[in-house]
Amino acid sequence: MRLLNRIILLVACMTIWMSVSISSAAEQPVPSVVIVTVKGEIDGGQSSLLHRAFQEAEKNSAQAIIVELDTFGGLVDAAVQMRDLIIDSPIPTICYIKNRAWSAGALIALAHQNIVIAPGGSIGAAEPIPTTEKTVAALKAEFAATANKTGRNPRVAEAMVDKSLGLPGYAEPGQILALTDYQAREVGFADLVATDRAVVLSHYGLTGATVIEYQPQWMDRMAGWLSNPAIKSGLLSLIFLAVLAEIKTAGMGVGALIAIVAAMLFFGSQWLTGVAGLLEVLLFIGGCVLVVIELYVPGMGLFGIAGLASILASFFLSLGANLSALTTMAISLLIAVIVFLLLARYLPSSKLWARLVLKDSETTQGGYTSADDYNCYIGCEGTTITQLRPAGTIEVNGIQLDVVSEGRFLPRGIQVRVVSVKGNRIVVHPIGE
Protein backbone atom coordinates (compact mmCIF):
# COMPACT_ATOMS: atom_id res chain seq x y z
CA MET A 1 0.00 0.00 0.00
CA ARG A 2 2.82 2.36 0.88
CA LEU A 3 4.57 1.47 -2.38
CA LEU A 4 1.44 2.31 -4.34
CA ASN A 5 1.13 5.69 -2.61
CA ARG A 6 4.76 6.49 -3.41
CA ILE A 7 4.24 5.62 -7.06
CA ILE A 8 1.13 7.81 -7.25
CA LEU A 9 3.00 10.69 -5.58
CA LEU A 10 5.94 10.32 -7.98
CA VAL A 11 3.65 10.33 -11.02
CA ALA A 12 1.87 13.43 -9.72
CA CYS A 13 5.17 15.28 -9.18
CA MET A 14 6.40 14.38 -12.67
CA THR A 15 3.11 15.54 -14.17
CA ILE A 16 3.35 18.88 -12.38
CA TRP A 17 6.99 19.32 -13.44
CA MET A 18 6.21 18.58 -17.10
CA SER A 19 3.25 20.98 -17.05
CA VAL A 20 5.42 23.77 -15.63
CA SER A 21 8.17 23.08 -18.19
CA ILE A 22 5.75 23.12 -21.13
CA SER A 23 4.11 26.32 -19.83
CA SER A 24 7.49 28.03 -19.44
CA ALA A 25 8.54 27.01 -22.95
CA ALA A 26 5.26 28.30 -24.35
CA GLU A 27 5.71 31.65 -22.62
CA GLN A 28 9.20 32.19 -24.08
CA PRO A 29 8.97 34.10 -27.37
CA VAL A 30 10.27 32.38 -30.48
CA PRO A 31 13.52 34.11 -31.63
CA SER A 32 13.01 36.01 -34.86
CA VAL A 33 15.13 37.88 -37.39
CA VAL A 34 13.70 40.65 -39.56
CA ILE A 35 15.14 40.84 -43.08
CA VAL A 36 14.50 43.92 -45.21
CA THR A 37 15.30 44.00 -48.91
CA VAL A 38 16.48 47.44 -50.09
CA LYS A 39 17.10 47.31 -53.82
CA GLY A 40 17.23 50.01 -56.47
CA GLU A 41 17.22 53.77 -56.08
CA ILE A 42 17.17 55.11 -52.53
CA ASP A 43 14.07 57.26 -52.12
CA GLY A 44 11.16 57.86 -49.81
CA GLY A 45 9.70 54.45 -50.62
CA GLN A 46 12.79 52.65 -49.31
CA SER A 47 12.70 54.88 -46.22
CA SER A 48 9.03 54.00 -45.69
CA LEU A 49 9.78 50.28 -46.00
CA LEU A 50 12.64 50.48 -43.49
CA HIS A 51 10.59 52.58 -41.09
CA ARG A 52 7.74 50.04 -41.13
CA ALA A 53 10.08 47.05 -40.71
CA PHE A 54 11.95 48.57 -37.77
CA GLN A 55 8.70 49.41 -35.98
CA GLU A 56 7.50 45.82 -36.35
CA ALA A 57 10.88 44.46 -35.26
CA GLU A 58 10.79 46.47 -32.03
CA LYS A 59 7.19 45.48 -31.39
CA ASN A 60 8.02 41.77 -31.81
CA SER A 61 11.35 41.99 -29.91
CA ALA A 62 13.37 40.62 -32.82
CA GLN A 63 16.91 39.37 -32.16
CA ALA A 64 18.40 41.22 -35.12
CA ILE A 65 17.56 43.16 -38.27
CA ILE A 66 19.32 42.30 -41.52
CA VAL A 67 19.15 44.80 -44.37
CA GLU A 68 20.00 43.18 -47.70
CA LEU A 69 21.34 46.10 -49.73
CA ASP A 70 21.88 46.45 -53.47
CA THR A 71 21.84 50.02 -54.77
CA PHE A 72 23.72 52.52 -56.92
CA GLY A 73 22.54 55.33 -54.60
CA GLY A 74 19.74 57.86 -54.65
CA LEU A 75 18.36 60.77 -52.66
CA VAL A 76 20.65 61.94 -49.87
CA ASP A 77 17.79 63.12 -47.62
CA ALA A 78 16.13 59.69 -47.79
CA ALA A 79 19.49 58.02 -47.05
CA VAL A 80 20.02 60.30 -44.04
CA GLN A 81 16.56 59.38 -42.71
CA MET A 82 17.40 55.68 -43.05
CA ARG A 83 20.83 56.23 -41.49
CA ASP A 84 19.30 57.89 -38.41
CA LEU A 85 16.72 55.13 -38.08
CA ILE A 86 19.39 52.40 -38.20
CA ILE A 87 21.76 54.10 -35.74
CA ASP A 88 18.99 54.78 -33.21
CA SER A 89 17.66 51.20 -33.35
CA PRO A 90 17.93 49.30 -30.03
CA ILE A 91 18.02 46.03 -31.99
CA PRO A 92 21.36 44.82 -33.44
CA THR A 93 21.56 45.57 -37.16
CA ILE A 94 23.45 43.77 -39.93
CA CYS A 95 23.91 45.05 -43.48
CA TYR A 96 24.40 42.38 -46.14
CA ILE A 97 25.73 44.02 -49.30
CA LYS A 98 24.63 41.59 -51.99
CA ASN A 99 26.18 43.40 -54.94
CA ARG A 100 26.96 47.05 -54.29
CA ALA A 101 26.39 49.86 -51.83
CA TRP A 102 27.40 53.00 -53.69
CA SER A 103 26.83 56.67 -52.93
CA ALA A 104 23.82 57.02 -50.58
CA GLY A 105 23.82 53.25 -50.16
CA ALA A 106 27.30 53.42 -48.63
CA LEU A 107 26.03 55.79 -45.91
CA ILE A 108 23.20 53.37 -45.11
CA ALA A 109 25.65 50.46 -44.89
CA LEU A 110 28.02 52.34 -42.59
CA ALA A 111 25.17 53.04 -40.15
CA HIS A 112 24.88 49.31 -39.30
CA GLN A 113 26.69 47.74 -36.37
CA ASN A 114 27.81 44.88 -38.61
CA ILE A 115 28.53 44.74 -42.35
CA VAL A 116 28.73 41.62 -44.49
CA ILE A 117 29.59 41.73 -48.19
CA ALA A 118 28.97 39.16 -50.91
CA PRO A 119 31.78 37.98 -53.20
CA GLY A 120 32.18 40.53 -55.97
CA GLY A 121 30.41 43.24 -53.96
CA SER A 122 31.62 46.79 -53.45
CA ILE A 123 31.03 49.81 -51.23
CA GLY A 124 31.85 53.52 -51.62
CA ALA A 125 31.88 55.92 -54.60
CA ALA A 126 29.83 58.47 -52.69
CA GLU A 127 30.89 61.74 -54.35
CA PRO A 128 27.82 64.03 -54.32
CA ILE A 129 26.23 65.49 -57.43
CA PRO A 130 26.50 68.41 -57.93
CA THR A 131 30.07 68.32 -56.61
CA THR A 132 30.40 71.64 -54.83
CA GLU A 133 32.56 72.51 -51.87
CA LYS A 134 29.48 72.79 -49.68
CA THR A 135 27.90 69.46 -50.65
CA VAL A 136 31.22 67.60 -50.40
CA ALA A 137 31.93 69.05 -46.94
CA ALA A 138 28.45 68.26 -45.64
CA LEU A 139 28.35 64.68 -46.93
CA LYS A 140 31.96 64.01 -45.88
CA ALA A 141 31.10 65.04 -42.32
CA GLU A 142 28.03 62.80 -42.40
CA PHE A 143 30.11 59.80 -43.54
CA ALA A 144 32.87 60.46 -40.98
CA ALA A 145 30.40 60.85 -38.10
CA THR A 146 28.56 57.68 -39.09
CA ALA A 147 31.77 55.63 -39.36
CA ASN A 148 33.01 56.93 -36.01
CA LYS A 149 29.66 56.12 -34.40
CA THR A 150 29.83 52.50 -35.55
CA GLY A 151 33.51 52.04 -34.68
CA ARG A 152 35.06 52.33 -38.14
CA ASN A 153 37.85 54.49 -39.53
CA PRO A 154 36.40 57.95 -40.37
CA ARG A 155 39.36 58.64 -42.68
CA VAL A 156 38.31 55.80 -44.97
CA ALA A 157 34.71 57.03 -44.98
CA GLU A 158 35.78 60.55 -45.91
CA ALA A 159 37.79 59.25 -48.88
CA MET A 160 34.57 57.74 -50.26
CA VAL A 161 33.14 61.26 -50.57
CA ASP A 162 36.15 63.55 -51.17
CA LYS A 163 38.37 62.35 -54.02
CA SER A 164 41.11 64.82 -53.09
CA LEU A 165 41.96 62.73 -50.00
CA GLY A 166 42.65 59.32 -51.48
CA LEU A 167 43.63 56.28 -49.39
CA PRO A 168 47.16 54.82 -49.64
CA GLY A 169 47.09 51.42 -51.25
CA TYR A 170 43.48 51.73 -52.39
CA ALA A 171 42.94 55.08 -54.15
CA GLU A 172 45.34 57.84 -55.23
CA PRO A 173 44.52 61.49 -54.45
CA GLY A 174 42.12 62.62 -57.17
CA GLN A 175 40.38 59.21 -57.25
CA ILE A 176 37.15 58.53 -55.40
CA LEU A 177 37.39 55.53 -53.04
CA ALA A 178 35.36 52.39 -53.70
CA LEU A 179 36.25 49.16 -51.88
CA THR A 180 35.82 45.63 -53.20
CA ASP A 181 34.74 42.74 -50.98
CA TYR A 182 38.23 41.76 -49.76
CA GLN A 183 39.35 45.42 -49.52
CA ALA A 184 36.38 46.23 -47.29
CA ARG A 185 37.40 43.31 -45.10
CA GLU A 186 40.99 44.55 -44.94
CA VAL A 187 40.12 48.09 -43.79
CA GLY A 188 37.54 46.89 -41.26
CA PHE A 189 34.49 47.96 -43.23
CA ALA A 190 33.16 44.38 -43.46
CA ASP A 191 33.07 41.58 -40.89
CA LEU A 192 33.19 38.80 -43.46
CA VAL A 193 32.53 37.83 -47.07
CA ALA A 194 29.41 35.63 -47.28
CA THR A 195 28.06 33.82 -50.30
CA ASP A 196 24.43 33.78 -49.16
CA ARG A 197 22.03 34.60 -46.34
CA ALA A 198 22.50 31.26 -44.59
CA VAL A 199 26.18 32.05 -44.00
CA VAL A 200 25.24 35.42 -42.52
CA LEU A 201 22.71 33.85 -40.13
CA SER A 202 25.19 31.16 -39.11
CA HIS A 203 28.02 33.65 -38.46
CA TYR A 204 25.93 35.68 -36.02
CA GLY A 205 24.29 32.67 -34.32
CA LEU A 206 20.86 33.20 -35.86
CA THR A 207 20.46 29.92 -37.74
CA GLY A 208 17.48 28.66 -35.74
CA ALA A 209 15.62 31.97 -35.62
CA THR A 210 12.35 32.56 -37.44
CA VAL A 211 12.93 34.73 -40.52
CA ILE A 212 10.43 37.54 -41.18
CA GLU A 213 10.95 39.22 -44.55
CA TYR A 214 9.81 42.68 -45.64
CA GLN A 215 9.43 43.49 -49.32
CA PRO A 216 8.28 46.82 -50.83
CA GLN A 217 4.47 47.15 -50.99
CA TRP A 218 2.21 49.53 -52.87
CA MET A 219 2.23 52.03 -50.01
CA ASP A 220 6.03 52.09 -50.06
CA ARG A 221 6.10 52.66 -53.81
CA MET A 222 3.50 55.42 -53.46
CA ALA A 223 5.51 57.01 -50.64
CA GLY A 224 8.59 56.92 -52.87
CA TRP A 225 6.72 58.60 -55.73
CA LEU A 226 5.13 61.25 -53.50
CA SER A 227 8.40 61.98 -51.68
CA ASN A 228 10.11 62.98 -54.91
CA PRO A 229 11.15 66.66 -54.50
CA ALA A 230 9.40 67.66 -57.73
CA ILE A 231 6.17 65.94 -56.67
CA LYS A 232 6.28 67.52 -53.19
CA SER A 233 6.82 70.95 -54.72
CA GLY A 234 3.96 70.31 -57.14
CA LEU A 235 1.60 69.31 -54.32
CA LEU A 236 2.50 72.46 -52.39
CA SER A 237 1.87 74.57 -55.50
CA LEU A 238 -1.50 72.88 -55.95
CA ILE A 239 -2.44 73.59 -52.32
CA PHE A 240 -1.50 77.28 -52.64
CA LEU A 241 -3.31 77.55 -55.99
CA ALA A 242 -6.46 75.94 -54.57
CA VAL A 243 -6.45 78.34 -51.62
CA LEU A 244 -6.12 81.35 -53.94
CA ALA A 245 -8.96 80.03 -56.10
CA GLU A 246 -11.11 79.50 -53.01
CA ILE A 247 -10.56 83.11 -51.96
CA LYS A 248 -11.28 84.37 -55.49
CA THR A 249 -14.53 82.42 -55.82
CA ALA A 250 -15.72 83.48 -52.34
CA GLY A 251 -15.95 80.00 -50.92
CA MET A 252 -17.45 77.79 -53.64
CA GLY A 253 -15.87 74.74 -51.95
CA VAL A 254 -14.07 73.24 -54.98
CA GLY A 255 -10.76 74.91 -54.13
CA ALA A 256 -11.01 73.81 -50.50
CA LEU A 257 -11.68 70.21 -51.55
CA ILE A 258 -8.66 70.18 -53.90
CA ALA A 259 -6.45 71.70 -51.18
CA ILE A 260 -7.53 69.07 -48.64
CA VAL A 261 -6.86 66.17 -51.03
CA ALA A 262 -3.43 67.57 -51.98
CA ALA A 263 -2.58 68.10 -48.30
CA MET A 264 -3.57 64.51 -47.48
CA LEU A 265 -1.23 63.25 -50.21
CA PHE A 266 1.58 65.54 -49.03
CA PHE A 267 1.37 64.62 -45.35
CA GLY A 268 0.58 60.99 -46.16
CA SER A 269 3.91 60.52 -47.93
CA GLN A 270 5.76 62.32 -45.13
CA TRP A 271 4.01 60.17 -42.52
CA LEU A 272 4.86 56.91 -44.29
CA THR A 273 8.53 57.82 -44.52
CA GLY A 274 8.62 58.83 -40.85
CA VAL A 275 9.45 62.48 -41.62
CA ALA A 276 6.18 64.06 -40.53
CA GLY A 277 5.21 63.43 -36.94
CA LEU A 278 2.06 64.17 -34.99
CA LEU A 279 3.13 67.79 -34.43
CA GLU A 280 3.15 68.66 -38.14
CA VAL A 281 -0.27 67.08 -38.73
CA LEU A 282 -1.77 68.82 -35.69
CA LEU A 283 -0.34 72.17 -36.80
CA PHE A 284 -1.95 71.78 -40.23
CA ILE A 285 -5.34 70.71 -38.86
CA GLY A 286 -5.27 73.46 -36.23
CA GLY A 287 -4.42 76.03 -38.89
CA CYS A 288 -7.36 74.94 -41.05
CA VAL A 289 -9.69 75.19 -38.04
CA LEU A 290 -8.48 78.74 -37.29
CA VAL A 291 -9.04 79.80 -40.91
CA VAL A 292 -12.61 78.43 -40.81
CA ILE A 293 -13.23 80.29 -37.53
CA GLU A 294 -12.03 83.50 -39.18
CA LEU A 295 -14.62 83.04 -41.95
CA TYR A 296 -17.56 82.80 -39.54
CA VAL A 297 -16.43 84.68 -36.42
CA PRO A 298 -15.19 88.30 -36.67
CA GLY A 299 -11.68 88.26 -35.23
CA MET A 300 -9.98 91.31 -36.79
CA GLY A 301 -7.94 88.87 -38.91
CA LEU A 302 -6.15 87.33 -35.92
CA PHE A 303 -7.62 83.86 -36.43
CA GLY A 304 -6.81 83.93 -40.13
CA ILE A 305 -3.21 85.09 -39.64
CA ALA A 306 -2.62 82.50 -36.89
CA GLY A 307 -4.15 79.77 -39.08
CA LEU A 308 -2.01 80.59 -42.11
CA ALA A 309 1.12 80.77 -39.94
CA SER A 310 0.29 77.36 -38.45
CA ILE A 311 -0.23 75.80 -41.90
CA LEU A 312 3.03 77.24 -43.24
CA ALA A 313 4.86 76.02 -40.13
CA SER A 314 3.54 72.50 -40.70
CA PHE A 315 4.87 72.55 -44.28
CA PHE A 316 8.22 73.95 -43.12
CA LEU A 317 8.71 71.26 -40.47
CA SER A 318 7.62 68.46 -42.80
CA LEU A 319 10.12 69.53 -45.45
CA GLY A 320 13.01 69.38 -43.00
CA ALA A 321 12.94 72.79 -41.28
CA ASN A 322 15.99 74.08 -43.16
CA LEU A 323 16.95 76.45 -45.95
CA SER A 324 15.95 73.88 -48.56
CA ALA A 325 12.46 73.78 -47.05
CA LEU A 326 12.13 77.56 -47.34
CA THR A 327 13.34 77.42 -50.93
CA THR A 328 10.83 74.71 -51.84
CA MET A 329 7.97 76.64 -50.24
CA ALA A 330 8.97 79.90 -51.94
CA ILE A 331 9.20 78.24 -55.37
CA SER A 332 5.87 76.47 -54.88
CA LEU A 333 4.13 79.70 -53.87
CA LEU A 334 5.63 81.56 -56.83
CA ILE A 335 4.45 78.87 -59.26
CA ALA A 336 0.96 78.94 -57.71
CA VAL A 337 0.71 82.74 -58.05
CA ILE A 338 1.88 82.68 -61.68
CA VAL A 339 -0.57 79.92 -62.62
CA PHE A 340 -3.39 81.70 -60.77
CA LEU A 341 -2.74 84.97 -62.63
CA LEU A 342 -2.61 83.17 -65.97
CA LEU A 343 -5.88 81.38 -65.25
CA ALA A 344 -7.55 84.59 -64.10
CA ARG A 345 -6.50 86.36 -67.28
CA TYR A 346 -6.95 83.76 -70.02
CA LEU A 347 -9.43 81.21 -68.70
CA PRO A 348 -12.60 83.39 -68.86
CA SER A 349 -12.01 84.01 -72.60
CA SER A 350 -11.19 80.40 -73.47
CA LYS A 351 -13.51 77.99 -75.28
CA LEU A 352 -13.32 75.53 -72.38
CA TRP A 353 -14.59 78.18 -69.93
CA ALA A 354 -17.39 79.11 -72.35
CA ARG A 355 -18.57 75.51 -72.35
CA LEU A 356 -18.45 75.19 -68.58
CA VAL A 357 -20.01 78.53 -67.57
CA LEU A 358 -23.48 79.82 -68.53
CA LYS A 359 -23.16 83.40 -69.78
CA ASP A 360 -26.86 84.12 -70.51
CA SER A 361 -28.79 86.07 -67.88
CA GLU A 362 -32.54 86.31 -67.26
CA THR A 363 -33.25 90.04 -67.46
CA THR A 364 -36.52 91.98 -67.41
CA GLN A 365 -35.74 93.28 -70.91
CA GLY A 366 -35.52 89.70 -72.05
CA GLY A 367 -38.99 88.95 -70.71
CA TYR A 368 -37.93 87.35 -67.43
CA THR A 369 -39.51 88.36 -64.14
CA SER A 370 -38.77 87.19 -60.64
CA ALA A 371 -42.50 86.95 -59.70
CA ASP A 372 -45.99 86.94 -61.28
CA ASP A 373 -47.49 90.33 -62.13
CA TYR A 374 -50.86 90.77 -60.36
CA ASN A 375 -51.42 94.40 -61.40
CA CYS A 376 -53.96 93.22 -64.01
CA TYR A 377 -56.35 92.27 -61.20
CA ILE A 378 -56.65 95.83 -59.84
CA GLY A 379 -60.38 96.79 -59.94
CA CYS A 380 -61.55 93.22 -60.52
CA GLU A 381 -64.33 91.81 -58.39
CA GLY A 382 -64.46 88.38 -56.79
CA THR A 383 -65.95 86.28 -54.01
CA THR A 384 -64.27 85.19 -50.80
CA ILE A 385 -64.07 81.39 -50.69
CA THR A 386 -62.39 81.40 -47.26
CA GLN A 387 -62.61 83.73 -44.30
CA LEU A 388 -60.11 86.62 -44.45
CA ARG A 389 -58.37 86.89 -41.03
CA PRO A 390 -57.06 89.15 -42.61
CA ALA A 391 -55.43 86.77 -45.14
CA GLY A 392 -57.41 84.30 -47.15
CA THR A 393 -58.45 83.23 -50.65
CA ILE A 394 -60.85 84.73 -53.17
CA GLU A 395 -61.98 83.63 -56.61
CA VAL A 396 -61.85 86.01 -59.58
CA ASN A 397 -63.15 84.74 -62.92
CA GLY A 398 -62.45 81.15 -61.88
CA ILE A 399 -58.92 81.96 -60.65
CA GLN A 400 -58.05 81.63 -56.95
CA LEU A 401 -55.88 84.37 -55.45
CA ASP A 402 -54.28 84.73 -52.02
CA VAL A 403 -55.24 88.14 -50.67
CA VAL A 404 -55.33 90.27 -47.51
CA SER A 405 -57.99 92.67 -46.19
CA GLU A 406 -55.65 95.04 -44.33
CA GLY A 407 -56.47 93.77 -40.87
CA ARG A 408 -60.26 93.48 -41.20
CA PHE A 409 -62.14 90.21 -40.73
CA LEU A 410 -64.30 89.31 -43.72
CA PRO A 411 -66.62 86.29 -43.77
CA ARG A 412 -66.80 83.69 -46.49
CA GLY A 413 -69.05 84.24 -49.54
CA ILE A 414 -69.07 88.07 -49.81
CA GLN A 415 -68.19 90.23 -52.82
CA VAL A 416 -64.83 92.02 -52.73
CA ARG A 417 -62.82 94.25 -55.08
CA VAL A 418 -59.03 94.32 -55.60
CA VAL A 419 -57.89 97.83 -54.68
CA SER A 420 -54.07 97.57 -54.76
CA VAL A 421 -51.15 95.24 -55.57
CA LYS A 422 -47.66 95.47 -54.10
CA GLY A 423 -45.51 92.65 -55.45
CA ASN A 424 -47.21 89.46 -54.29
CA ARG A 425 -49.44 91.32 -51.82
CA ILE A 426 -53.04 91.73 -53.13
CA VAL A 427 -55.29 93.99 -51.06
CA VAL A 428 -59.11 93.76 -51.27
CA HIS A 429 -62.06 95.73 -49.86
CA PRO A 430 -65.71 94.65 -49.57
CA ILE A 431 -67.90 96.00 -52.39
CA GLY A 432 -70.05 98.93 -51.17
CA GLU A 433 -67.39 100.48 -48.97
User: In the predicted model, is pLDDT for residue 108 greater than 70?
Assistant: yes
Q: Name the more confident of 406 and 410.
A: 410
Question: How many angstroms separate the Cα of 77 from the Cα of each of 82, 275, 325, 359?
Answer: 9, 10, 12, 51
Per-residue pLDDT of 243-288, as tens digits, reads 777 766 655 566 677 777 887 777 766 665 555 566 777 888 888 7
Question: Are 291 and 303 a contacting pair, CB within 8 Å?
Answer: yes
Average of pLDDT values for 162-184? 92
Q: Is the pLDDT of residue 69 over 80?
A: yes
Read off the pLDDT band of 67 (50, 70, 90): very high
Q: Which amino acid would we find at residue 11?
A: V
Identify the CA nearest to 129 among candidates 172, 167, 74: 74
d(CA 105, CA 84): 13
Residue 260 corresponds to which amino acid?
Answer: I
| CATH fold of 375-430 | OB fold (Dihydrolipoamide Acetyltransferase, E2P) (2.40.50)
Residue ranges of the domains in the chain? 29-219, 228-343, 375-430
Looking at per-residue pLDDT, the higher value among 108 and 235 belongs to 108
Q: Are 37 and 65 in contact (CB under 8 A)?
A: no
Q: Give the whole-angstrom CA distance, residue 40 versus residue 53.
A: 18
Q: Please report which confidence band the pLDDT of residue 312 belongs to, taking 50, 70 and 90 as the band edges.
A: confident
Question: CA nearest 70: which of 40, 34, 29?
Answer: 40
For the ranges 15-29, 53-67, 164-178, 374-388, the lowest mean pLDDT is seen at 15-29
The CATH code of the domain at 29-219 is 3.90.226.10
Could you tell me which residue, 215 or 360, shows the higher pLDDT? Answer: 215
Give residue 197's pLDDT band: very low, low, confident or very high (50, 70, 90): very high
